[in-house]
Protein backbone atom coordinates (compact mmCIF):
# COMPACT_ATOMS: atom_id res chain seq x y z
CA UNK A 1 0.00 0.00 0.00
CA UNK A 2 1.19 3.48 -0.79
CA UNK A 3 -0.91 6.40 0.43
CA UNK A 4 -0.26 10.09 -0.22
CA UNK A 5 -1.90 12.64 2.09
CA UNK A 6 -2.29 16.09 0.53
CA UNK A 7 -2.15 18.81 3.13
CA UNK A 8 -2.06 22.59 3.16
CA UNK A 9 -0.84 25.13 5.63
CA UNK A 10 -3.55 27.69 6.42
CA UNK A 11 -4.23 30.57 8.79
CA UNK A 12 -5.45 29.28 12.16
CA UNK A 13 -9.20 29.29 12.82
CA UNK A 14 -8.80 32.12 15.34
CA UNK A 15 -6.63 34.29 13.07
CA UNK A 16 -7.54 37.97 12.80
CA UNK A 17 -7.39 39.34 9.26
CA UNK A 18 -6.44 42.72 7.86
CA UNK A 19 -6.93 43.73 4.25
CA UNK A 20 -5.07 46.60 2.69
CA UNK A 21 -5.21 47.29 -1.05
CA UNK A 22 -6.50 43.79 -1.68
CA UNK A 23 -3.56 42.24 0.23
CA UNK A 24 -4.62 39.96 3.06
CA UNK A 25 -2.44 39.55 6.13
CA UNK A 26 -3.26 37.96 9.45
CA UNK A 27 -2.04 37.30 12.91
CA UNK A 28 -3.19 35.17 15.78
CA UNK A 29 -2.48 36.95 19.04
CA UNK A 30 -3.49 33.85 21.01
CA UNK A 31 -1.60 31.16 19.12
CA UNK A 32 0.23 30.13 15.98
CA UNK A 33 -0.90 32.17 12.96
CA UNK A 34 -0.20 29.30 10.55
CA UNK A 35 -1.37 25.75 11.14
CA UNK A 36 -1.91 22.45 9.38
CA UNK A 37 -5.38 22.95 7.81
CA UNK A 38 -7.68 21.46 10.51
CA UNK A 39 -9.57 19.35 7.94
CA UNK A 40 -6.31 17.81 6.75
CA UNK A 41 -5.59 16.42 10.22
CA UNK A 42 -8.45 14.00 9.56
CA UNK A 43 -6.85 12.99 6.26
CA UNK A 44 -3.55 12.29 8.03
CA UNK A 45 -5.35 10.27 10.70
CA UNK A 46 -7.08 8.08 8.13
CA UNK A 47 -3.83 7.49 6.24
CA UNK A 48 -2.13 6.41 9.47
CA UNK A 49 -5.03 4.15 10.36
CA UNK A 50 -4.75 2.43 6.94
CA UNK A 51 -1.01 2.11 7.41
CA UNK A 52 -1.52 0.41 10.77
CA UNK A 53 -4.08 -1.91 9.21
CA UNK A 54 -2.32 -2.81 5.97
CA UNK A 55 1.34 -1.80 6.36
CA UNK A 56 3.05 0.18 3.62
CA UNK A 57 3.96 3.85 3.22
CA UNK A 58 2.31 7.17 3.97
CA UNK A 59 3.73 10.28 2.36
CA UNK A 60 2.56 13.79 3.29
CA UNK A 61 2.57 16.16 0.30
CA UNK A 62 2.08 19.90 0.11
CA UNK A 63 2.37 22.52 -2.59
CA UNK A 64 3.40 25.63 -0.73
CA UNK A 65 6.21 27.98 0.29
CA UNK A 66 8.95 27.08 2.78
CA UNK A 67 6.83 27.98 5.81
CA UNK A 68 4.66 24.97 4.95
CA UNK A 69 7.46 22.67 6.09
CA UNK A 70 6.05 23.23 9.57
CA UNK A 71 2.73 21.75 8.51
CA UNK A 72 4.56 18.76 6.99
CA UNK A 73 6.45 18.35 10.26
CA UNK A 74 3.13 18.12 12.09
CA UNK A 75 2.27 15.21 9.75
CA UNK A 76 5.61 13.51 10.42
CA UNK A 77 5.11 14.02 14.15
CA UNK A 78 1.70 12.34 13.91
CA UNK A 79 3.35 9.35 12.24
CA UNK A 80 3.66 9.81 8.46
CA UNK A 81 6.78 8.06 7.15
CA UNK A 82 7.83 10.69 4.62
CA UNK A 83 7.03 14.22 3.51
CA UNK A 84 7.53 16.20 0.30
CA UNK A 85 7.30 19.96 -0.19
CA UNK A 86 6.67 21.13 -3.72
CA UNK A 87 7.37 24.77 -4.46
CA UNK A 88 8.57 27.06 -7.18
CA UNK A 89 8.19 30.80 -7.71
CA UNK A 90 6.26 29.83 -10.82
CA UNK A 91 3.60 28.22 -8.59
CA UNK A 92 2.78 31.42 -6.72
CA UNK A 93 -0.82 32.53 -7.26
CA UNK A 94 -2.05 29.22 -8.69
CA UNK A 95 -5.83 28.75 -8.72
CA UNK A 96 -7.22 25.37 -7.60
CA UNK A 97 -6.76 23.99 -11.10
CA UNK A 98 -3.09 24.99 -11.16
CA UNK A 99 -2.68 23.44 -7.71
CA UNK A 100 -4.41 20.28 -8.92
CA UNK A 101 -2.02 20.03 -11.89
CA UNK A 102 0.98 20.37 -9.58
CA UNK A 103 -0.36 17.85 -7.06
CA UNK A 104 -1.22 15.37 -9.82
CA UNK A 105 2.30 15.65 -11.27
CA UNK A 106 3.79 15.19 -7.78
CA UNK A 107 1.66 12.12 -7.08
CA UNK A 108 2.78 10.67 -10.43
CA UNK A 109 6.41 11.30 -9.50
CA UNK A 110 5.95 9.58 -6.13
CA UNK A 111 4.68 6.66 -8.32
CA UNK A 112 2.73 3.48 -7.54
CA UNK A 113 0.31 5.39 -5.31
CA UNK A 114 -2.91 3.50 -4.49
CA UNK A 115 -4.77 6.24 -2.71
CA UNK A 116 -4.43 10.01 -2.32
CA UNK A 117 -6.27 11.31 0.75
CA UNK A 118 -7.37 14.95 1.03
CA UNK A 119 -9.10 16.99 3.70
CA UNK A 120 -12.60 18.28 3.14
CA UNK A 121 -11.53 21.81 2.26
CA UNK A 122 -8.79 24.30 3.03
CA UNK A 123 -10.11 26.86 5.52
CA UNK A 124 -8.61 29.83 3.64
CA UNK A 125 -10.38 29.63 0.29
CA UNK A 126 -12.93 27.09 1.55
CA UNK A 127 -13.52 25.70 -1.92
CA UNK A 128 -12.99 21.95 -1.60
CA UNK A 129 -12.32 21.96 -5.37
CA UNK A 130 -8.76 20.72 -5.36
CA UNK A 131 -9.74 17.13 -4.50
CA UNK A 132 -11.89 16.40 -7.54
CA UNK A 133 -9.67 18.50 -9.82
CA UNK A 134 -6.59 16.52 -8.81
CA UNK A 135 -8.52 13.28 -9.44
CA UNK A 136 -9.56 14.51 -12.87
CA UNK A 137 -5.97 15.44 -13.77
CA UNK A 138 -4.77 12.00 -12.64
CA UNK A 139 -7.68 10.23 -14.37
CA UNK A 140 -8.53 8.59 -11.03
CA UNK A 141 -11.88 8.12 -9.33
CA UNK A 142 -12.84 10.99 -7.01
CA UNK A 143 -14.63 10.05 -3.77
CA UNK A 144 -15.46 13.09 -1.68
CA UNK A 145 -17.17 13.65 1.70
CA UNK A 146 -16.02 10.22 2.86
CA UNK A 147 -17.08 9.52 6.46
CA UNK A 148 -15.85 5.93 6.55
CA UNK A 149 -13.67 3.58 4.55
CA UNK A 150 -15.71 0.42 4.89
CA UNK A 151 -13.35 -1.88 3.01
CA UNK A 152 -10.19 -1.51 0.99
CA UNK A 153 -8.27 -4.24 -0.78
CA UNK A 154 -4.96 -2.96 -2.11
CA UNK A 155 -4.20 -6.29 -3.88
CA UNK A 156 -7.55 -6.44 -5.67
CA UNK A 157 -7.57 -2.66 -6.16
CA UNK A 158 -11.03 -2.03 -4.73
CA UNK A 159 -12.43 0.34 -2.13
CA UNK A 160 -15.85 0.81 -0.53
CA UNK A 161 -16.66 4.01 1.33
CA UNK A 162 -19.55 5.73 3.00
CA UNK A 163 -20.14 9.32 1.82
CA UNK A 164 -21.94 11.97 3.83
CA UNK A 165 -23.91 14.20 1.48
CA UNK A 166 -26.37 17.05 1.96
CA UNK A 167 -29.28 14.79 1.10
CA UNK A 168 -28.20 11.67 2.99
CA UNK A 169 -25.53 9.01 3.07
CA UNK A 170 -24.45 6.66 0.34
CA UNK A 171 -22.21 3.65 0.18
CA UNK A 172 -20.05 3.60 -2.96
CA UNK A 173 -17.54 1.11 -4.24
CA UNK A 174 -14.83 2.01 -6.74
CA UNK A 175 -11.58 0.84 -8.25
CA UNK A 176 -8.19 2.01 -7.09
CA UNK A 177 -6.24 4.18 -7.55
CA UNK A 178 -8.61 6.76 -6.14
CA UNK A 179 -8.59 10.23 -4.66
CA UNK A 180 -10.61 10.57 -1.51
CA UNK A 181 -11.65 13.60 0.52
CA UNK A 182 -12.54 12.85 4.13
CA UNK A 183 -14.93 14.57 6.54
CA UNK A 184 -14.76 14.87 10.29
CA UNK A 185 -16.66 11.67 11.03
CA UNK A 186 -13.76 9.63 9.66
CA UNK A 187 -12.20 9.72 13.14
CA UNK A 188 -10.56 12.10 15.61
CA UNK A 189 -6.96 12.92 14.67
CA UNK A 190 -4.33 11.68 17.08
CA UNK A 191 -1.91 13.92 18.93
CA UNK A 192 1.73 13.73 17.87
CA UNK A 193 3.82 11.54 20.17
CA UNK A 194 6.91 12.88 21.93
CA UNK A 195 9.08 10.58 19.82
CA UNK A 196 7.24 11.71 16.72
CA UNK A 197 7.93 15.36 17.44
CA UNK A 198 11.63 14.65 17.94
CA UNK A 199 11.80 12.69 14.72
CA UNK A 200 9.96 15.43 12.82
CA UNK A 201 12.27 18.15 14.13
CA UNK A 202 15.32 16.27 12.87
CA UNK A 203 13.84 15.40 9.46
CA UNK A 204 15.08 17.06 6.27
CA UNK A 205 12.13 17.37 3.95
CA UNK A 206 12.86 17.03 0.22
CA UNK A 207 11.82 19.95 -1.98
CA UNK A 208 10.72 19.54 -5.55
CA UNK A 209 10.49 22.41 -8.01
CA UNK A 210 8.82 22.78 -11.41
CA UNK A 211 11.93 21.29 -13.06
CA UNK A 212 11.45 18.04 -11.10
CA UNK A 213 7.88 17.57 -12.30
CA UNK A 214 6.10 16.93 -15.57
CA UNK A 215 3.17 19.25 -15.14
CA UNK A 216 0.39 19.05 -17.72
CA UNK A 217 -0.74 22.65 -18.17
CA UNK A 218 -0.14 26.05 -16.66
CA UNK A 219 0.54 27.01 -13.05
CA UNK A 220 0.86 30.18 -11.00
CA UNK A 221 -0.83 33.54 -11.29
CA UNK A 222 -0.26 33.76 -15.06
CA UNK A 223 -2.28 30.59 -15.73
CA UNK A 224 -4.96 31.30 -13.14
CA UNK A 225 -8.34 31.93 -14.70
CA UNK A 226 -9.79 33.39 -11.54
CA UNK A 227 -9.26 37.02 -10.51
CA UNK A 228 -9.04 37.34 -6.72
CA UNK A 229 -7.87 40.95 -6.53
CA UNK A 230 -10.92 42.37 -4.79
CA UNK A 231 -10.94 41.07 -1.19
CA UNK A 232 -12.43 43.24 1.53
CA UNK A 233 -13.56 43.26 5.14
CA UNK A 234 -17.13 42.46 6.10
CA UNK A 235 -19.59 45.27 6.28
CA UNK A 236 -20.35 45.49 10.01
CA UNK A 237 -23.73 44.06 11.04
CA UNK A 238 -25.84 47.16 11.11
CA UNK A 239 -27.43 47.10 14.54
CA UNK A 240 -26.25 46.66 18.08
CA UNK A 241 -28.07 43.93 19.96
CA UNK A 242 -31.52 44.84 21.24
CA UNK A 243 -31.75 43.24 24.69
CA UNK A 244 -35.33 42.29 25.47
CA UNK A 245 -36.22 43.39 29.01
CA UNK A 246 -39.36 42.51 30.92
CA UNK A 247 -40.76 41.81 34.38
CA UNK A 248 -41.33 38.12 33.77
CA UNK A 249 -40.03 35.46 31.41
CA UNK A 250 -43.47 35.38 29.77
CA UNK A 251 -43.32 39.10 29.10
CA UNK A 252 -39.85 38.79 27.53
CA UNK A 253 -41.07 35.92 25.36
CA UNK A 254 -44.08 37.98 24.24
CA UNK A 255 -41.94 41.03 23.41
CA UNK A 256 -39.45 38.95 21.44
CA UNK A 257 -42.17 37.17 19.48
CA UNK A 258 -43.69 40.60 18.66
CA UNK A 259 -40.35 41.74 17.26
CA UNK A 260 -39.89 38.56 15.23
CA UNK A 261 -43.33 38.91 13.66
CA UNK A 262 -42.49 42.53 12.83
CA UNK A 263 -39.26 41.33 11.15
CA UNK A 264 -41.41 38.97 9.03
CA UNK A 265 -38.97 36.12 9.47
CA UNK A 266 -41.74 33.68 10.35
Partner 1 sequence: MSGVWAWIEHQDGEIAAIGRELIGAGRNGADSLEEPLTALIFGHDIAGVANQAFDLGADAVIAADDLSLAQVRVEAYGPLIADLARERQPSVILAGATTRGRDLAAWVAADLDAGLVADGIALSFDSDRVIVTRPVYAGKLMADVFVTEGPQLITLRSRAFAPAEPTGKSGDVEWVQPAIAEDEISTQVMAVESSAGTVSLADANVIVSGGRGVGGPEGFEPIKELADVIGGAVGASRAAVDAGWIPYDYQVGQTGKTVSPDLYIACGISGAIQHQAGMRTSKVIVAINKDQDAPIFKLASYGIVGDLFEIVPALTAEFTRRLGE
Site residues for ligand FAD, 25-44, by CB under 6 A, read 38
> Phi, psi (5° rounding) for residue 56?
95, -165
Q: How far is the CB of 201 from ligand AMP (least distance, A)?
A: 22
CB of 40 to ligand FAD, least distance (A): 11
Map the footprint of ligand FAD across residues 5-24, applying CB under 6 A: 13
Instruction: Report strand pairing: 82-86 vs 9-11.
Output: unpaired
- Running DSSP on this structure, what letter comes out for residue 184? G
Specify the residue, 217 or 246, whose C-beta has the smaller distance to ligand AMP: 217
DSSP 117-135: EE-S--TTT----HHHHHH
**Does residue 90 interact with ligand AMP by CB under 6 A?**
no
Q: Are 51 and 1 in contact (CB under 8 A)?
A: yes
Q: Does 3 bind ligand AMP (CB under 6 A)?
A: no
122 binds, among partner 1, ligand FAD, ligand AMP, none (CB under 5 to 8 A by kind): ligand AMP
Alpha-carbon distance of 264 to 192, in angstroms, equals 51
Give the CA distances from residue 112 to residues 1, 108, 135, 172, in Å, rounded to whole numbers and listed in that order: 9, 8, 15, 23
State which of positions 97-116 bind ligand AMP (CB under 6 A).
99, 103
Nearest distance, CB of residue 214 and partner 1, angstroms: 17
**Could you give the CA distance from residue 98 to residue 91 in angstroms, rounded to a whole number?**
8
Q: Does 131 bind ligand AMP (CB under 6 A)?
A: yes
Q: Which is nearer to partner 1, 194 or 243 (CB)?
A: 243
Binding site for ligand FAD (CB under 6 A): 13, 38
Amino acid sequence: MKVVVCIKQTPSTTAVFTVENGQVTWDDPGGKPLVLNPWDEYAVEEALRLQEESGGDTIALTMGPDSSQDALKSCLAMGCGEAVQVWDDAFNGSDTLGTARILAASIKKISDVDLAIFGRQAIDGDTGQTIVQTAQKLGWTPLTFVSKIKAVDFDEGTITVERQLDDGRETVSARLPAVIGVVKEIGEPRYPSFMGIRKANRATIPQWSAADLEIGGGTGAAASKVDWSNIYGLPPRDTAVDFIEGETTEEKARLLVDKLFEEKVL
